[in-house]
Amino acid sequence: MPSRTSQRILWSVLSLSLVLIAGFAIAKWQHQNVRQLEDFGQLPNFSLTDENGKTASLQNFSGHIWVADMIFTHCSSICPTLTAKMISLQSALNDKPDIRFASISVDPLHDTPDTLLAYANDHHANTERWTFLTGTTSQIYSLVKTGFHLPLDSVGGEQRVPIVHSPRFALIDAKGHVRGYFNGLEEEGQKQLLADIDALENEENP
């Protein structure tokens, strides 16, 4: 007949085994329930100019999760809302300083680096994390249309053709792949974007 000491050891082993099994089951369940983000493709390398007049490329964002939107500084329709939402994101992600932001001007003839810098200052953008980009008309059009796969009907010009562009934010991973699109005009879009940033961080740092 087993001694009491043997029985205690047996029960201890059984209890530890049950705890380990439960732990593995919970970990597997959590892994299976993490949102898996789509991959919409690799952004092409680009060479644009930031608000300080310096060249900025995809390499500037390498190793960082980042969020991009398309605006122009004299826009009076959706752009003020998009910028306000980006400011809100900047505040919500204060505890994640590695997250970056980029606003790409779709009126590059008007939005010079000096204009973008004044716009950034007016909106209290943290330019250590938030970059404002401009370039040539062809560069902007190509990046938005074939890189981000977002609609863009015009990029402005001297005749002030109405600029029609997307209100969506794009989420880009640390390797330069677009991983999601979110309506920048809706509160629900921002909530989902924040949730997907968490999911992307979990994916990149399992």
> What pTM does this model have?
0.81
Residues 82/71, Cβ–Cβ less than 8 Å: yes
Residues 176/62, Cβ–Cβ less than 8 Å: yes
* CATH number belonging to the domain at 47-204, selected among 3.40.50.1000, 3.60.150.10, 3.40.30.10, 2.30.30.20: 3.40.30.10
Q: Which residue has the higher pLDDT, 164 or 158?
A: 164
Q: What is the per-residue pLDDT across 20-74, written as a single tens digit (0 to 9) for each?
A: 554 544 444 444 455 689 999 999 999 999 999 999 999 999 999 999 999 999 9
Residues 179/200, Cβ–Cβ less than 8 Å: yes
Q: Provide the terminal-to-terminal Cα distance of the chain, rounded to the nearest Å.
A: 48
Average pLDDT of every residue of the chain = 86
CA gap 138, 144 in Å, rounded: 10
Q: Checking phi first, is residue 157 left (phi over 0); if not, alpha (psi -120 to 50) or beta?
A: left
Q: Which residue has the higher pLDDT, 179 or 12?
A: 179
Residue-range domain boundaries for the chain? 1-33, 47-204
Q: What is the per-residue pLDDT across 115-131, written as a single tens digit (0 to 9) for each?
A: 999 999 999 999 999 99
